[in-house]
Chain A
Amino acid sequence: MTEFWINMGPQHPMTHGLWNMKVQVDGETVTDAKPEIGYLHRGYEKIMEVREFQKNVVLTDRLCYVSSITWSHAYCLAVEKMMGIETPERGQWIRVVALELQRIASHLMWLAAYGPDLGLLTGLLWALRERELFLDLIQLMSGARMNQNYPRVGGVRNDLPDNFEAMCRRSIEHFLEKVDNEYQRVFQESKVFHMRTEGVGKISAAEAIDWGVTGPNLRACGVNVDLRRLDPYEVYEEIDFEPQVWHDGGAGDSYARFVCRFNELRESCQIILQALEKMPKTGPYRVKAPRRAEGEGYAKTEDSRGEALFYVIGDGDDRPYRVKIRSPVFCTMAATPIMLRGNKLADSVAILGSVDVCVGEMDK
């Protein structure tokens, strides 16, 4: 049979960002795939070496534009470890709230993008409609909808506004209602959706671990790994939550990945509610960080897409000597050919949509 390569990108509706998935098809069946990345490489690790520690937060915001806070938080955590300072307790709780709000916003962006991937534009607009609630909350908290620049080395930029708790509860209540009714029906219980996602894009747990797949994509393979539980940072150990792991059969397919992420929406809401409950009502939210530091620090956090790692070395100057970023999507992307092979061409969209690609952090 004649096989040919199809470029799914760099300008293609399937790619959520600037990258290229070369797919070799035999008729409709995918026989091979090659992710081509690097279109959005901005040289983050190098740029960060010439900027001061505190000023790098602005850069790390732009690593992933739908999940800014989680990335700048990971960087701040690494620098704090290097400097040997610790965020005050209220600051840590505020960070948890911010992280989970950002996780919901990021997952909703993924959910929105996963709609048109399978031909459901209504899903895009519904998910973006509810994302607006969380962007409003983030704006209330940090003053910006995108690239919030909220975490700081040593805490967060500002305290929560007065009415934040009430607004947060109201939004989450409304959102959970939408999730349980509308989203559940349109996204999860749709028969066509099951037809399109179940059994496609399978990857075994062993292969996923070998290729460095992390986060919801690995939990969908049935591996219970969540850094918020395994290696708790901030105050996650005081919070009672259940990492969303796929336990049933058919692990590692697009549907499992969908369900893990989808349930994380609910789980994150519960975390936020708990955090609002347990957080100290007053107190400092930030400590003064030294300008110069020497040493090494690394922090790994549970980003919306997997394990985000920052490794920062300081040589006594006011800017890092070396920064290393581990992007979860970069590693997941290497495993996508395994998921794609043997599936239909149309499934490549269903698979790549379910792994939640963010090109900004992938290309760094």
Chain B
Amino acid sequence: MTSAPLIPNLFDVCVVLVLAIVWVIDQILYALAGLIPPLNGLAQWFDPIARQRLGMGLLQSELLIVLITWLIAVTVMVIWATLINLLTMMWVERKFYSRLQDRYGIMISIWSLPFWPFNRAHRPTHRGTGYLQNIADGVKLLQKENITPRNADSAMFHISPVLIASSTLMIFAALPWSSGFYVANLDLGILFIFAAFSLAPLGILIAGWSANNKYTLVGGLRAAAMLMAYEIPMILSVIALVFFTGSLNPLIIVRQQERTLVSLGPLAIPAWYIFSPQILGFVVFSVSMMAEMERIPFDIPEAEAELVEGWTTEYSGMRFGLVFGFKWLRMIAGAALIAILYLGGWSGPVFTTLSVGGVPVPIVPEEAWFVLKIYLISVVFIWISWSVRRVRIDQILNIGWRKLIPYSLVAIILAAAAIASGLWAVG
């Protein structure tokens, strides 16, 4: 048994939200209809009771309402991913590496906001948690001028941030946050996520080439050279996993891990794929994911020591903010993938639900477990990336081709052998 999701189904939750909004609009329409009688028909079209009386179908099955609901569902996911998790992840990273470096890090407090009721005198403005710092940085970037280098290929130069940002957001269309909190439930969800992941290096190459700058050019070409070295082992290790799961649907993969593998006294080891012959694939996948996230041992496309800021050198204003900040979004997506594929996704050890008037409310919902896992995995990545140096381009190619790809092939053979010998059953 596992915990229940807080959001049983994102679409259904959003329908309730939309219907509530429609009800408010409907009341306004009825009030207006007293003055302008023709509005009465429109108001009745929006009124569920009137629809029933007139023999029309349910309001939520109308195309207009469905479209609005999808828009709201996507918006909820974007806000959840970028406004909440992206900012929190940036804050976690900045605070965590500051502590590694023996300093406090960002410390802006809410009293530093320049308007009432926060701008009171004698309040410590710089002794807080610093969560608002990233918002302040974002606002600053929005105010900055967007400079296009004179000889840059302007169209390509401006397409690249769009490509990177949109492909990163596409990941979250297929990425579930719990068994109910997702936008789309795709049968080939994992494949879709990888496809969306792999679009960004193309954007990096375009950005590097179009900016007409030597630093960005070298950075972009490095991204292109690196791409093969880590994408192939990553996909290969997922292929090894598919031997076990028999599916590429993240919901099914997580459901398979929700049982207990073995009980050692009071300790129940869950059937996560990390506790299986997939452990080798997990290591390969995590290392490749680090390169995919462009974190420090593998962040050679934007090695700031020799390439100033690599392929992002020429970007300014919010375009820089997009290509820079969405790295954290990709980190969240990468950590979520690791959690889904190997660490049991949103399955958590506590499965208590509270019954409030007959409606079961989970005390620790699945979303909480999933977010906790994402942040723990990310903190490990952050920890690694602030304790090691950057490898060289030839060294990452060596690591990719000579170590990761052979290991991932071994992982495939292991997985195939485990299935063929009957040690492990599919699904």
- Chain A positions within 8 Å of B, measured between CB atoms, are 4, 6, 8, 12-14, 25, 28, 116-122, 125-126, 129, 186, 190, 192-193, 195-196, 344-349
Contacts and interface: CB of A to CB of B under 8 A. Distances in A.
A190 B218 contact: no
Interface in B276-314: 296-297, 299-300, 303-306, 308
Kindly name the residue among B101, B389, B392 whose own CB sees the greatest number of chain A CB atoms within 10 A: B389
B188 to A, nearest CB: 37
Given A117-B305, A346-B303, A122 B389 contact: no
B33 interface: no
Given A125-B101, A126-B101, A193 B304 contact: no
Interface in B355-397: 386-395
B395 A119 contact: no
B387 A186 contact: yes
A118 B218 CA distance: 17
B100 interface: yes
13 contacts: A6-B214, A13-B305, A14-B305, A118-B305, A119-B299, A119-B303, A121-B386, A129-B102, A192-B297, A192-B388, A195-B391, A348-B306, A349-B305
| Interface residue range, chain B | 20 to 34
A126 B394 contact: no
Interface of B: 97, 100-103, 214-215, 218, 222, 296-297, 299-300, 303-306, 308, 386-395
A125 B299 CA distance: 20
A13 B218 CA distance: 16
Contacts of A195: 391-392, 395
Kindly name the residue among B215, B306, B387, B391 whose own CB sees the greatest number of chain A CB atoms within 10 A: B306
Given A13-B304, A345-B306, A122 B392 contact: no
A259 B12 CA distance: 64
B305 A119 contact: yes
8 interchain residue pairs of minimum CB distance:
A119-B390, A125-B101, A118-B389, A349-B305, A192-B389, A349-B306, A120-B389, A192-B388
Given A13-B304, A13-B305, A125-B102, A190 B214 contact: no
B390 A118 contact: yes
Kindly name the residue among A4, A186, A192, A346 whose own CB sees the greatest number of chain B CB atoms within 10 A: A346
Contacts of B394: 28, 344
Given A6-B215, A13-B305, A192-B388, 5 more contacts: A6-B214, A28-B394, A121-B97, A192-B297, A192-B390
Given A13-B305, A13-B308, A345 B218 contact: yes
Nearest to B390: A119
A267 to B, nearest CB: 25
A28 B297 contact: no
A346 B306 contact: yes
A349 B386 CA distance: 19
B100 A122 contact: yes
Nearest to B296: A119
A130 B268 CA distance: 47
Contacts of A14: 305-306
A119 B214 CA distance: 20
A196 B392 contact: yes
Contact of A347 (B101, B389, B392): B392
B391 A121 contact: no
B34 to A, nearest CB: 67
B248 to A, nearest CB: 34
A196 B391 contact: yes
Contact of A125 (B103, B297, B387, B392): B103
Contacts of B100: 122
Nearest to B392: A346
Contacts of A347: 392
A196 B395 CA distance: 9
Nearest to A345: B306
A293 B171 CA distance: 79
Contacts of B297: 119, 192
A344 B393 contact: yes
A281 B222 CA distance: 61
Contacts of B103: 125
A126 B386 CA distance: 12
Contacts of A28: 218, 222, 393-394
B96 to A, nearest CB: 11
Contacts of A345: 218, 306
Contact of A346 (B101, B387, B390): B390
Given A8-B306, A13-B304, A117-B305, A122 B386 contact: yes
Contacts of A193: 389
A4 B387 contact: no
A119 B102 contact: no
A186 B388 CA distance: 8
Contacts of B304: 13, 116, 119
Contacts of B308: 12-13
A122 B103 CA distance: 10
Contacts of A116: 304-305
A190 B101 contact: no
A28 B221 CA distance: 10
B388 A126 contact: no
A193 B388 CA distance: 8
